[in-house]
Amino acid sequence: MAIKKSAKLPQTAVLKQILKRCSSLGKKQGYEPEDVPKGHFAVYVGDNRTRYIVPISLLNTPQFQTLLNQSEQEFGFCHQMGLTIPCDQHLFESLITSMLLL
């Protein structure tokens, strides 16, 4: 089940739905993300599904929006591992670094 962007919902509401869904996935499986600081969320990247903790502020960047759209197209938002980004790990690290420097 994918979250679809509706003309009625502003972008911030859609992003909040995505974060709520991602955080609730871990809780349903008995996993409490104690190591994720407030204002951040976990994503899984690459073939090995390496876990990254990224600031919520990155959700508003066009680059991260593109990654979220790719994730939705490839995986949807209803899968067991949490929010998975279909991106090479080195490319993701480079993108995150450049976004944090802006």
Section 92-99 average pLDDT: 91
Distance in angstroms (rounded) separating the CA atoms of residues 87 and 102: 21
- Among candidates 20, 11, 7, which has minimal Cα distance to 64? 11
pLDDT, tens digit, 9 for 90 and up, residues 41-64: 899 999 898 999 999 999 889 999
Taking the domains of the chain in order of start, what are their residue ranges? Answer: 11-101
Q: Give the pLDDT of residue 101.
A: 84
Does the pTM exceed 0.75? no
Nearest Cα residue to 26 out of 17, 16, 36: 36
